Structure 1
Amino acid sequence: MGRHVGDLSLEELKVYRPELKYKPNDFDAFWENIKAKMDGENPVVRMQARKTAIPTIEVIDIEFESWDETPIKGMIVKPKNVDDCPTIISLHGYTGDRGLPVDYLKWIPLGLVVISFDVRGQGSSPDYARYQNGSRVPGWMLQGIRNPENYYYTNVYRDILLQLKWIRSKDCPLNPTILGLTGSSQGGGLALATAGLDKNIDFVTAELPFIAHFERALSVALSGPYLEIVNYFKFSDPKYNTYEEVLKTLGYIDCVHFCNSITCPVLIASGLEDATSPPSTVFAAYNHIPSESKFIEVYPQYKHENIPLHEEKKIEFIMDICRRNM
């Protein structure tokens, strides 16, 4: 059934569960140390109500001063005069941003709150981290690539851990009764990694997740951010002398390496024509998730793009979890 342009067949994908040979031996200790440090941080958060033409919602703009004082822009979109309700953290795609209130209106009539932050350095938020390497290739994939402790996505994960701490604190103007993660592409990979880092997440939806199974992605991806790394080798290291060093850094942030810790309900989507997040990298993540409630929807003719039908399935999935936890 279906198409599988440049990747494994659907039958092969269903059983594709690769060995995690680039998962570092000290992976768990590395992240436990970072989580302990983030537990000791207290972010400075500034909030401002935004005027909106829609009388049934409230919008709150956020400036979140993260662990290294990077001011990250965020937003809360919520039903008016409702503070105790299911909450979705929306994580955006590569080069994207936190979005606009209109992007989240479908959740408001269902009684849900959406919180969305820029990823540092993307959207309208800066990145105050200092990286020790430059690059001929534009983008964020190579920033700090030889230093796992100060790699770009290590810092992004730090931000998300601190944001979760704040959302659950008395300083946040919400009281999430259920807390879930949703994202596509970069956001999908971040959602899966975060669910592996935080055992108290209630659900995850991840469409076309990126940041997954790098050793495979670098071999088969034909477009998108993985090519930043491919082109690094082409222009700066054509003999691949630093390949093992680069894969070691990526091993600490590869969302597949977090998946064996995910026990909450998970819904994933994959397009069989996706050359940016190749299906084999998506199934590698899915097949390493031990959750007893996990589902993957496959769309044979979709590339790396919005899948309207899947939006309906995502709403059904999340609302079913909300009903069962009322």
Structure 2
Amino acid sequence: MPLWERQIEEWLAEKPERTAAADFDAFWEETQSLALSQTMNPEVISVDYPSKKISVYRVSFEAFDRGRIQAWLLVPTESTSSKLPALIRWHDYLGFRGRICTHLVWALQGFVVLVPDIRGHGDSSDLTHYSRGNNKGYFAQGILDPHEYYLRGCIADGLRMILFLNGRSEVDPNRIGIIGDGLGGLVSLWTAALHPQVNTIAPVSPYPCDWERHVISASSVAADEVKIYLTRYPEHEAMVWNTLSYFDPVNIARRVGCTSFFPLGLQGSAAPPQDSVGIYNLIEGEKELKVLPYDGAGAGIEELISCMQRRLRP
């Protein structure tokens, strides 16, 4: 047996302990209600794109609380079906939605594709009122108050993507999938846990997971940003861990009821594969783990295509 197989066996036997505060469920019920009740005010602008097989749109709508989300929307034009499956495609931290051509692989297979910029990234704004300043990046923004913390807006925006797709006449609301890389993987996990309409998710190297261990052991931008904050303000350590517990997938994974597909590249360092397996172990719904021992984060595109075809285009 290869060493990596023995390592996977050990990880599959581990279940991270929950760290949720007493009001964890109430906090997310409130956030979910606010996110799904806020007006959308969508704007959809056609983009002249050199393909007869898809229509492309530049779309925007209100982000959670303040600001606007900007996204690409790709719609197949040659389908004989009146209702099509849809994919939400989230990028990683410090990334952006990319160029239209990078998403053709999905649209040309018959998926409606929504590709947003995460709040504060690309063309999407983040107008959250933070009562304190920041030292570096987004992972320390609002870190002393769960209601202000940056990830609350990211996750609430994820719920609002479902609202947008529900307003599109060409989308089958029962066939919505989400693929997310890194931070986008975290958003996909949370969206699936909080919105029953999600059919399938594929979190690719989701992070941060198991927050305290991640900060201590991972070589990620998120870990560095939190460590810098704690180095400067050690007196706030208890408040920091309390806030982060509201945004740790360890505390929400059991609520993921849809199909989950985890392509696991073992060579990633920003999102330690052990953390992904820990979250996988906690999910109680239908799930599949595809181990790619010699690949890093972001691997497994063929596996992702196969999964989404099976689940959303049966």
TM range (shorter): over 0.9
Q: Structure 1 regions of 5+ residues with no counterpart?
A: none
- Give 2:243's aligned residue: 249
**What SS does the corresponding residue of 2:58 show, helix, strand or coil?**
strand
Q: Which of 7, 10, 19 is residue 8 of structure 2 equivalent to?
A: 10
Contact 1:88 1:115 survives alignment (8 Å): yes
- Give 2:110's aligned residue: 111
**What SS does the corresponding residue of 1:242 show, helix, strand or coil?**
helix
Residues 238-274 of structure 1 show CA distances to partners (whole Å, capped at 9, x for unaligned) of xx43222111111111223221011111111222232
Moved over 4 A (4+): none
Q: Which amino acid aligns with 1:122?
A: H
Report deviation, 1:173: 4.8
2:76 equivalent to 1:86: no
TM-score (norm 2): 0.93
Q: Which of 286, 295, 299 is residue 292 of structure 2 equivalent to?
A: 299
Q: Which of 19, 22, 27 is residue 17 of structure 2 equivalent to?
A: 19
- Give 1:273's aligned residue: 267
Q: Which amino acid aligns with 2:100?
A: P
Residues 115, 2 of structure 1: CA spacing in aligned structure 2 closer, same or farther, 3 A cutoff? farther
Task: Count the aligned residue pairs.
Answer: 310
Report deviation, 1:29: 1.0
2:272 & 2:163 partners in 1: Cα distance?
Answer: 33
2:169 & 2:63 partners in 1: Cα distance?
Answer: 18
Q: Structure 2 regions of 5+ residues with no counterpart?
A: none
- Give 2:302's aligned residue: 312
Contact 2:263 2:289 survives alignment (8 Å): yes
Report deviation, 1:94: 0.5
Residues 287-311 of structure 1 show CA distances to partners (whole Å, capped at 9, x for unaligned) of 10001x211122223333x32xx11
Q: Percent identity?
A: 26
Report deviation, 1:2: 4.3
**What SS does the corresponding residue of 1:250 show, helix, strand or coil?**
helix
- Give 2:48's aligned residue: 51
1:131 & 1:286 partners in 2: Cα distance?
Answer: 33
2:268 & 2:48 partners in 1: Cα distance?
Answer: 39
Residues 97-144 of structure 1 show CA distances to partners (whole Å, capped at 9, x for unaligned) of 1222211111223211110111110112221111122233x2100000
Contact 1:3 1:273 survives alignment (8 Å): no
- Give 2:120's aligned residue: 121
Q: Which amino acid aligns with 2:124?
A: S
- Give 1:68's aligned residue: 65
Residues 323, 77 of structure 1: CA spacing in aligned structure 2 closer, same or farther, 3 A cutoff? closer
Q: Which amino acid aligns with 2:43?
A: R
- Give 2:170's aligned residue: 174
**What SS does the corresponding residue of 2:147 show, helix, strand or coil?**
helix
Q: Which amino acid aligns with 1:299?
A: L
2:37 equivalent to 1:40: yes
2:151 & 2:9 partners in 1: Cα distance?
Answer: 32
Superposed CA RMSD:
1.9
